[in-house]
Structure 1
């Protein structure tokens, strides 16, 4: 029993050393962020949309972009995914994910890299997870285009913070130069730019409304398959509309 106690103490110490954690996870009974301002996050969030993700991922590969501490990547591995590659640009988050992966005995392939570098993986995945990242990016539409071009083979699980109107309008195929209706309709697509901080975070650059999120997904070649709850979408790869191709300088 003494050894168990010492192991638990070591685990608690390691969790504290790697803090703060944004993912509250149960590791051998120890919570990583028990005082999280959102509560038991992201576990409670996951319960709201987990039904749209295949329960059995055997034979499939998964890429988790902006994996943070690896909550979703580990869920995909638990569902039997053959390989789960999890990337993040923050080495501390990757260290958290490595610890969680080791403690739960669910192997992940962890890489320190940005969404803008997905072409370097030289692989397309059956399921790409891109949750809680878009609004942190200076170039969000480019990120979606690169994912569609280089990373996604079939499904995209997507989430973004949204602000503004939650209703959507059906956009016309074209608008006259002097027609202001697209810009005056609150249900029209709008991407709010945040110059300084939002919620104390200087990396919160954009706050799209629902119409903007859905329009951006379609524009990058993702057909919305499921919308299980606010801000969350399961998409399938589709044809990109005319004019949405990557410029030659971004093709590899």
Structure 2
């Protein structure tokens, strides 16, 4: 037993650094002293879990930016078949190892790639898990559009936000006269800050929307907010009029994606 634990402890060190604190079957943890405080991301899962079906048998799940696999594991435990996507082979190595330790490897397909790769793929997922990725993307609304189109039942969305939750949106935000643009500065108007260099020392932090902008972008992608389980977390379902909403931008969207796939002329 001690030899097995020491081997596991050594493997955790070899696979480091970790961002997800995973609880292994023998009680060992991958990052018990997390810099974000608490037991991350378990404390976020506890906020979201009551809003999800306890039985996900027959559900197909897409976990975008799966990191070391914490959420994929929790969803697989509920019976889902999970496709777990991440761009970083370091995190995927952690996730594949941990899946074996947890006995969940046969329920999860780990894939290296980025969210934009989904543009060339067909099919839908019952649940799209889109947490901790949006603000790291150079083209965030394109990614949200791609994922919203593939969401059959639920999307769990989370993003870094800017501290601008003061009050509800000011009046009707559906239009703004060109000579009344001061309204765009009103507290609660949907807006998103662009981060040119770094936020928290991270050059991949590109955007910080306010809560009103998050909900407006979700609506514009054909989703409707059903709940806010925790800070910066939204639970969404496809809107009944999603096709009509997407018709406003879908032709341009598909044209741009087709041009990108073809490459330079």
Calculate the TM-score normalised by the size of structure 2.
0.88
The count of residues paired between Structure 1 and Structure 2 equals 247
Match of 2:125 in 1: 125
Pick which of 30-39 and 65-74 moved more. Answer: 30-39
CA positional deviation for 1:183: 1.0
Match of 1:41 in 2: 40
d(CA) in 2 for partners of 1:211 and 1:165?
Answer: 9
Q: Secondary structure in 2 aligned to 1:235?
A: strand
Pick which of 238-247 and 90-99 moved more. Answer: 238-247
CA positional deviation for 1:74: 0.6
- 1:25/1:31 contact within 8 Å kept: yes
Gaps of 5+ in 2: none
Match 2:256 to one of 244, 249, 252: 249
d(CA) in 1 for partners of 2:31 and 2:125?
Answer: 30
Pick which of 25-34 and 175-184 moved more. Answer: 175-184
- 1:76-155 alignment, distance < 5 Å: 76-81=75-80, 83-107=81-105, 108-149=108-149, 151-155=150-154
d(CA) in 1 for partners of 2:96 and 2:175?
Answer: 49
What is the CA deviation profile of residues 32-52 of structure 1, one whole-angstrom value per residue up to 9, with x for unaligned ones? Answer: 012211221001111122111
d(CA) in 2 for partners of 1:158 and 1:208?
Answer: 13
- 1:219/1:244 contact within 8 Å kept: no
Q: Aligned-pair RMSD on alpha carbons? A: 1.6
1:26 matched to 2:37? The reply is no
Pick which of 49-58 and 131-140 moved more. Answer: 49-58
Match 2:7 to one of 10, 15, 29: 10
CA positional deviation for 1:248: 2.2
Q: Secondary structure in 2 aligned to 1:186?
A: coil
Gaps of 5+ in 1: none
